[in-house]
Structure 1
Amino acid sequence: MRELRFNPLTGQWIMVSAVRRNRPWRPRDFCPFCPGSEETGYGWEVLLLPNRFPMLSFDAPKPEQEEFYTKARAIGQCSVIVETPEHELRDLDELPKEQMIKVVELWKEATAKLMENPRVAYLAIFRNKGEEIGVSLTHPHGQLYAFPFIPLKARLKIENSRNYYHRFGECLFCRILEEEAKGERAIYENESFIAFMPFFASWPFEIHVYPKRHVQYLTQLNSKETRDLADVLQVVTGSLNEVLERDMPYTMMIFQAPFKGKYPFYHLHIEFYPILRDNGKVKYTAGIELGTWEFTYDGVPEENARKLREACKRVVKRLNAEGRCF
């Protein structure tokens, strides 16, 4: 059984899939993403594989309708992005630079292909890392979900950036970029991108990555910007793993504009949500966060930004990165 259920109180679609119960949990004797498995074969550098336990599928059945509640077909695509044949690498900062560029190029290719599908309204490319996050397979990988609807968080960002554009005649993201580039919370920049802890951070070591050029999609990045995106993401993940001197569990989400309609006021951006507030201390989303969706911040963002900048300086030297730390 696979279907979408609409929450009339929040305006969200809930993805329901019975097959998700069958996902393996960190198998010790077999990795389906390593070269030579039934799914991967040999001779590849990066792979886009169908998720064997998807929430969405283009052949999803039509659900039986309820008298009051709304259901819809769980149309879409769930895929796994296998980032390297090397099983033991821990994070993006450990990939060879050219390999990281291939990962970004795969994101662009997947975006371009799914843009052509009229049943896809929104594409979410994301990455989970760490057992604390709930990652079931440790081989380095990301994922994508191609939705038939625009998710609530993306809708809110679109609405607020549209309202700001109509009121002030400028891109809200570009203005945030201007403010954060002043340096108090800025962490790293190269020619094309800047990484910073936002003024409104929810997570203790939250990092956002914005392109300096006003673009809406990964497909609009030129070859230099593609290389610079690979560079900044390696510095960010390296800094997160360095700041507490241990692997940082996190979720990374790429926000592009929806595929249907025009969004000149919107701006491509990437957000990292690291869940540790200190070494061995998890920032739990508990009562107030789950009950109201309003976050508490344990500490001062500017102090944690300074810690990230110090970590960034060590990482930039190790990676021979293209840009500079603030």
Structure 2
Amino acid sequence: MRELRFNPLTGQWVMVSAVRKERPWRPEGFCPFCPGNEETGYGWEVLLLPNRFPMLDFSAPRPEKGGFYRKARALGQCSVIVETPEHDLNDLDELSEDAMLRVVELWKNVTGELKNNPRVAYLAIFRNKGEEIGVSLTHPHGQLYALPFIPLKARLKVENSRAYFERSGECLFCRVLKEELGGERLIYENENFTVFLPFFASWPFEVHIYPKRHVQWLTQLAGTELRDLADALRVTAGTLNAVLNRQMPYSMMLFQAPFKGAYPFYHLHIEFYPLLRDNGKVKYAAGIETGLWDFTYDGVPEENARKLRRACLRAAKRANARGRCFT
């Protein structure tokens, strides 16, 4: 059984899939993403695979109608982005610049393909890292969900940025970037991208990546922008891994504009949500966060930004970075 169920209290769609409970948890002695297996074959550098345990499928059956609650077909695509043939890499900072560029180029290409699919309303490209996050396979990989609806958080960002643009004539994200530039929460920048811990961070070491140019989709990035995005991603991952001198578990989400409609007021961006607040101390999304979706911040953002700045210096040196860290 696979279907979408609508929550009338929050305006959210919940993806329901019975097949998800069958997915393996860290199988020993076998990795389905390594070269030479049935799904992967040989001779590749980055790979897009169908998720064997998907929430969404373009052939999903039509659910039965009737009753008070709304249901819908779980139409869409769930894919795995295998970022490298190398199994034992820990994170994006251990990819070479060219390998990271290939991943970013795949993101751009699949965005272009799915943007032309009339059944896709929104594309979520994301990455989970670490056992604490619940990653079931350790081979470096990300995921994408091509959704038939606009998720609530993305919808709120669209609505708020639209309202701000109508009031001020200015992109809300460009204004956030202007506020952060030159400030104490700025972590790293290269020619085309800026990395910072935002004023309104929810997670202790939360980091955002903004393009300096006002674009809505990856398909609009050109020239050196893709390589600079790859550089910013490598430095960000390396900074998070250096700040506590251990591998940082995190979730990463890439936010683009929805596919249906015009969104000149929106701005492409990436957000990292690291799970640790200190060594051995997890930032749990507990009562107030889970129940009300309102976060408490454990610490002071500017103090954590200073820690990230120091870590960035080490990470950028290891990555032979294209830009500069802030001190």
Amino acid at match of 1:146: A
Equivalent residue, structure 2, for 1:151: 151
* CA distance in structure 2 between the partners assigned to 1:183 and 1:40 by the alignment: 45
Identity of matched residues, %: 78
1:280-319 correspondence to structure 2 within 5 Å? 280-319=280-319
User: What secondary structure does 2:4 align onto?
Assistant: strand
Correspondence 1:175-186 to 2 at 5 A:
175-186=175-186
Cα-to-partner distance string for 1:195-244 (whole Å, 9 max, x where unaligned)? 00000000000000000000000010013000000000000000000000
1:76-108 Cα deviation digits (max 9, x unpaired): 000000000000000000001100000000000
Question: For residue 290 of structure 2, what is the amino acid of its counterpart?
Answer: L
3-state SS of paired residue (1:39) = coil
Question: Partner letter of residue 164 of structure 1?
Answer: Y
The 2-side partners of 1:155 and 1:30 are apart by 39
Number of the residue aligned with 2:267 = 267
Q: Residue 223 of structure 1: SS of its match in structure 2?
A: coil
Q: How many residues align?
A: 326
Supply the AA of the counterpart residue of 1:189.
E
61-70 vs 305-314, which moves further: 61-70
Question: How does 1:1-326 map onto structure 2 within 5 Å?
Answer: 1-326=1-326
Alpha-carbon distance in structure 2 between the residues aligned to 1:195 and 1:122: 24
Moved over 4 A (4+): none
Separation in 1, partners of 2:34, 2:198: 37
1 CA distance for matches of 2:31 and 2:51?
14
Provide the C-alpha distance between the structure 1 equivalents of 2:272 and 2:316, rounded to a whole number of angstroms. 18
Distance 1:117 1:109 in 2: 13
Q: Structure 2: how far apart are the matches of 1:23 and 1:67?
A: 32
TM-score when normalising by structure 2? 0.99
What residue identity is the alignment partner of 2:243? V
CA distance in 1, matches of 2:298, 2:317: 30
> Mean Cα displacement is larger for which, 31-40 or 65-74?
65-74
Output the CA distance in 2 between the equivalents of 1:257 and 1:181.
23
Equivalent residue letter for 1:319: A
Q: Which runs of 5+ in 1 are unaligned?
A: none
Stretches of structure 2 lacking an aligned partner (at least 5 in a row): none
Q: TM-score, normalised by structure 1?
A: 1.00
SS of the residue 2:25 aligns to: coil
TM-aligned CA deviation for residue 183 of structure 1:
2.2
- Indicate the SS of the match to 1:215: coil
Q: Amino acid of the residue matched to residue 185 of structure 1?
A: R
1:141-176 deviation digits (Å, cap 9, x = unpaired): 000000000000000000000000000010000000
Q: Distance in 2 between matches of 1:66 and 1:299?
A: 49
State the Cα distance separating 1:28 from its structure 2 match: 1.1
